[in-house]
Amino acid sequence: MEFLSLIKFILVQVFGLVISILAFGFFTFWIIRKFHSWKIAAIFSVILVGISFFAFIPYALPERLEYPFFLRTFGPADGPGLPFKNILKFFAKSGSVERIASIVRDPNDIPTPINRNHPENIKIELETKEVIAEMAPGISFNYWTFNGTVPGPFIRVREGDTIELTLKNNPSSINHHNIDLHAVTGPGGGAVLTNVAPGESKTMTFKALNPGLYVYHCAHPNVATHDAHGMYGLILVEPKEGLPKVDREFYVMQGEFYSTGGLGKKGLQIFDAQKMLDGHPEYIVFNGKTKGLVGNMKANVGESVRIFIGNGGVNLISSFHVIGEIFDTVYPEASIGGALFKNVQTTLVPAGGAAITDFKLEVPGKYILVDHALSRLDRGAWGVIEVAGDKNPTVFDGDTEGGQHGH
């Protein structure tokens, strides 16, 4: 439909304008011819027609050919549509775009806690990569990623560390990318230092001044468009004294995906910038896809667990909740060093923000992670922690035959 609208636009604006300018030229010729020779009439008409073309034709052409056509932007940079040439490039090479078996970042894939009492110089390498992977069986997306998964790798440093970060853009990429880490103090969070064309690599250095759990994301224009393709992750800046020890840590990130095809529509989905502007995602998921956190979060009765929960957005705020559990401690908005919240049912995770939730497991069974704006479950926003161990009837008892987990 958008392509038809482009044809219509060009016919009406350009062709229409050409006809009216020519008509204006003939009319001028006809008027002048009445009083002067045909030569003078022709010269004047041609000059007027030329000036009109020069002045008005640029207004008749689309400013920048992008898909979907004619989205307006009042933002500081490129609009949310994708450059049309990039779309053509993608479809021309879509057969050779790397297909990833699972886009999911393993929630257990977290570096171990930092065990030193002094700052260090740390080298980190990340690679931006555009791939195709499944959102759900038979439904695939063109994901843009850090290191081929959503979210990107969990980065763990210590307060006071100096980090030398190298960002490579895989040569197979179509788009430019960069990285803005909310843990960075400095303009753009690093984005201006790390703009990389396909095949390019750049290095920046920053000092982790403030402890906390921070989102990082691509901030190449249009930023929302890049984030809505999956370009985000978390960086933990541990406080000098470390975080209290827990038995298990999990890495979870919520994110939204906007496709032209509605919820459940099969096939390779096309990004829908209008839905993103309207804030109507088709899929809202943890760790990149529907059922991304099923079968990979396991713990035992008696253990304490910590969930590093982030929100890549781009539009929604997550009301993060674990059904059947109470967060004993929440680091609200992932603030470290401030006041902790105790005994919390649901915690807010802002778009481009995070939280840390600690809780102890007393009762075996399945615990479902949700965004408690519960209609989002049907768009994919849920996962499961499976807790093994002995029953604990003093805490939880009754007949569970035929029972359902959940609310």
Residues that bind Cu ion (CB under 5 A): 177, 218, 220, 226, 231
C-alpha closest to that of 160 among 115, 215, 204, 206: 206
Nearer to Cu ion, 155 or 387 (CB): 155
Tokens at residue 179, please?
């990285």
Cα distances from 165 to residues 151, 193, 204, 239, 283, in angstroms, run 18, 10, 5, 20, 31
Nearest distance in Å: CB 220, Cu ion = 4
Nearest distance in Å: CB 360, Cu ion = 39
Tokens at residue 88, please?
């053509």
Nearer to Cu ion, 212 or 230 (CB): 230
Cα distances from 252 to residues 304, 354, 382, in angstroms, run 17, 10, 11
Nearest distance in Å: CB 306, Cu ion = 29
Where would I find the H helices in 10-137?
16-35, 38-60, 84-93
Cα distances from 360 to residues 103, 320, 344, in angstroms, run 29, 17, 13
The Cα–Cα gap between 177 and 167 comes to 9
Nearer to Cu ion, 202 or 207 (CB): 202
Nearer to Cu ion, 125 or 378 (CB): 125
Report the length, in residues, of the chain: 407
Nearest distance in Å: CB 114, Cu ion = 29
Nearer to Cu ion, 177 or 275 (CB): 177
Nearer to Cu ion, 28 or 195 (CB): 195
Strand ranges across the sheet with 318-323: 298-300, 382-388, 365-371, 318-323, 346-349
Nearest distance in Å: CB 218, Cu ion = 3
Nearer to Cu ion, 211 or 312 (CB): 312
Q: What is the largest CA-CA distance in the chain?
A: 109
Report the 10 Å Cβ neighbour count for 14: 13
Nearer to Cu ion, 177 or 321 (CB): 177
Nearest distance in Å: CB 154, Cu ion = 19
Helix or strand run (H / E) with residue 227: helix 223-227
The Cα–Cα gap between 68 and 323 comes to 40
Give the CB-nearest residue to Cu ion.
218
Tokens at residue 104, please?
């999911």
Measured in whole angstroms, the distance separating CA 289 from the mean position of its chain's CA atoms is 12
The Cα–Cα gap between 68 and 59 comes to 19
Nearer to Cu ion, 98 or 247 (CB): 98
Nearest distance in Å: CB 226, Cu ion = 3
Nearest distance in Å: CB 283, Cu ion = 19
Nearest distance in Å: CB 223, Cu ion = 8
Which of helix, strand or coil describes residue 381?
A: coil
